[in-house]
Structure 1
Amino acid sequence: MRSDLYTLVLDSERLRLCPIGDAYIDLIYREFTPEIATYMYPRPASQRADTEAFVAAAQQENREGSNLNMVITLRETGEFLGCVGLHKLADPRPEFGIWVKQSAQMHGYGREAIHTLKRWADDHLTYEYLIYPVDSRNIASRKIPESLGAAIISQYDGTGGLGQDLTLIKYRIER
């Protein structure tokens, strides 16, 4: 698998996607709140050490080339906006993951980040299709794969990291 993911930087019109790193631990710890995790599997860290462990694991996955874990920042200012990833890179169906901090939501940053990561995947990965899972109630996030012409391939019930019931929709995004 790819071994250069720990140095990969992707730019879009407004954003810079950078490899996750120690410099972002405090920001991730502060901004990945229960409100952000409402429609997600991951549970917000209860202590900084949990975020440190998450970042260390994400960095290792980048070095191994198994997953691509990045932070989303504004290109002009470097302001931290959230995290985005493409997981299971060796699988024929890699899977997107994303969250944007509350104060940066509703500005199209999530869409721009996913579109940027998809362009990279199209140029650098061999895949059957990409997967974008999202809770059915998360309308803003559902608009992201739909903007790429995605089709729903399944729906299933799950439980989020906060114990909340989820009704997940899995979108299929073609090359």
Structure 2
Amino acid sequence: MESLHLAIFTNRLLLQPISLKYKEDIFKEFTAEIATYLYAAPPREIEGTEFFIKQSLQEMEKGENITVVVLKKDSQEFLGCSGIYKVNSKYPQTGIWLKKSAFGQGYGTEVIQALKEWADANLDYEYLRYPVDQENIPSRRIAEKLGGQMFSKYKHTNLSHKVLNVVEYRIFKT
């Protein structure tokens, strides 16, 4: 699996490996508001974003995770980040965040659908885990549109010290 040269195309989007080229976009768009329902916290300085990108690239080189930037196919506009984590597991995890101006346009579903199709073709897994805060209705709809089944609920404290009420979906391989 050569994930550093990955390119996944949808009708409207291009998913490609994260790179330092997008550090300014990620730093600017990954705000406290965007991170409300996520485990990660936005860094205070761009060096935190650089660290995240470099760590993501190392994990991709090791074949552990796949972290992608989401771009509009036609304009190359940066929309957010997504990925599949623990790719060698029977139960990898997927997740996504999009910048605020990209909300409500169906990009999230398009991204997770594309990653699932890629995983179906390239990974030996049983289901994708898709954890989401129970109050994050748009993200819950993504899992449900893709046939995700609610499996468990638990509390998880994120890096901003907020307790999330997580609903974990399973999206089965087809």
Please classify the TM superposition score into its range, dividing by the shorter chain length: over 0.9
**Alpha-carbon offset, residue 159 of structure 1:** 1.4
**Alpha-carbon offset, residue 64 of structure 1:** 1.4
Cα RMSD of the aligned pairs, angstroms, is 0.7
Q: Unmatched 5+ residue regions in structure 2?
A: none
Measured in 2, the distance between the counterparts of 1:52 and 1:121 equals: 27
Deviates more, 1:65-74 or 1:161-170: 161-170
Measured in 2, the distance between the counterparts of 1:61 and 1:112 equals: 24
Q: How does 1:57-96 map to 2 (within 5 A)?
A: 57-96=55-94
- Structure 2 residue 109 is matched with structure 1 residue 111: yes
Measured in 2, the distance between the counterparts of 1:78 and 1:116 equals: 17
Give the 3-state SS of the residue equivalent to 1:142 in structure 2. helix
Measured in 1, the distance between the counterparts of 2:146 and 2:109 equals: 9
TM-score, normalising length: structure 2: 0.98
- Write the deviation string for residues 55-104 of structure 1: whole angstroms up to 9, x where unpaired: 00111111111100000000000000000000001111000021000111
Q: How does 1:46-65 map to 2 (within 5 A)?
A: 46-65=44-63
Partner of 2:23: 25
Give the 3-state SS of the residue equivalent to 1:132 in structure 2. strand
Q: Unmatched 5+ residue regions in structure 1?
A: none
Measured in 1, the distance between the counterparts of 2:62 and 2:7 equals: 17
Measured in 2, the distance between the counterparts of 1:110 and 1:86 equals: 14
Amino acid at match of 1:58: S
Deviates more, 1:153-162 or 1:74-83: 153-162
Aligned with residue 173 of structure 1, among 159, 171, 174: 171
Give aligned pairs, total: 173
The percent of aligned pairs where both chains have the same amino acid is 43
Measured in 2, the distance between the counterparts of 1:150 and 1:10 equals: 22
Deviates more, 1:67-76 or 1:152-161: 152-161
- Write the deviation string for residues 8-61 of structure 1: whole angstroms up to 9, x where unpaired: 000000000010001001100010000000001101011010100000011111
Amino acid at match of 2:76: G
Runs ≥4 residues deviating over 2 A: none
Give the 3-state SS of the residue equivalent to 1:6 in structure 2. helix
Partner of 2:141: 143
